Structure 1
Amino acid sequence: MSNWIDIAALQDIPQRGARMVKTAHGCVAVFRTGEDEIYALDNACPHKAGPLAEGIVHGKAVTCPLHNWVISLETGLAQGADEGQVATHPARVEGGRILLDITCLRAKAVA
C-alpha cells in the first residue's frame, strides 16, 4: 500500500538542486536533476550525517557538502567509499507536483 503525499511543485526545486522536506516520519532530501528527474533520499550522509540537501547535484549523484562523499541518487550507495548507503524513497512528478511515498518512512519510524 502506498501513501503518496504532495510535498512541492516541481518548479520549487531548481534543476540540479535539492530541498529538505520535514515529514512526520523524518527529514528527506528531494533532488531534481538537470533532466528533471526527481529522487528522494534520507537527508543524512552515511559518513558523518552531512546534510545531503545542501550538497552539489551532478548527473544522478549528490556530493555531500562536508567531506565530498558522492552518493548515488538512484541507489543511495556511497560511490568510491568502502561502505555506506542512504535510504531511498519513491518519488514521482504528477501534474507538476512532486509526490513522495511515505510508506518506507513510516516503516522505519516503527522499527
Structure 2
Amino acid sequence: MNQWKVICRVDDIPVLGARIVQRDGKVAVAIFRNSEDKIFALLDQCPHKGGPLSQGIVFGEKVACPLHNWNIELGSGCATAPDEGCTQRFAVHIEDGDVALDVQELAAA
C-alpha cells in the first residue's frame, strides 16, 4: 500500500518543464509536466552519463537529456532506440491538483 507525500501542485510545475525534489544524500527526483498536463517522475539522472534530466526539453511523453540529447521516455524512464538504458521511475498520485510521490520510493536509494 502506498503512502503518498504531497510535493507540490500541478500548477507549480512549468508546462514542458520540471520541478526538483531534493532527497538527503541521494540523487534528486525530477517531476515533469507535459503539454497535456500529464505528470511523470524520474530520477534526475540520465542513464547515459548522469546528466540532469530536469534541465532537458520535454516533448510529448519524452525528455531530451541536456548533455547528449538522449531521449528518455517519461512513462518508463528508458532511453529510446538506438540508445539503451533506464533511469528509475517513481509512482505519481494526483488528487485535487496536488502531486504526491510514494514515501518509500523517495526514501529508497
Q: Aligned residue for 1:75?
A: 76
Q: Aligned residue for 1:97?
A: 98
SS at match of 1:19: strand
Percent sequence identity over aligned pairs: 46
Contact preservation (8 Å) 2:70, 2:83: no
Q: Deviations over 1:89-109 (max 9, x none)?
A: 001221111111132333x33
Q: Aligned residue for 1:43?
A: 44
Letter in structure 2 aligned against 1:77 = C
Q: Deviations over 1:14-71 (max 9, x none)?
A: 1111111113464101000111110000000000100000000000000000000000
TM-score normalised to the size of structure 2? 0.90
In 2, Cα distance between the equivalents of 1:52 and 1:2?
Answer: 25
Q: Gaps spanning 5+ residues in structure 2: where?
A: none
User: How well do the aligned residues superpose, as a CA RMSD in angstroms?
Assistant: 1.4
In 2, Cα distance between the equivalents of 1:23 and 1:2?
Answer: 18
Q: Gaps spanning 5+ residues in structure 1: where?
A: none
Contact preservation (8 Å) 1:18, 1:30: yes
Contact preservation (8 Å) 1:89, 1:102: no
Q: Aligned residue for 1:21?
A: 21
In 2, Cα distance between the equivalents of 1:82 and 1:49?
Answer: 14
SS at match of 1:11: helix
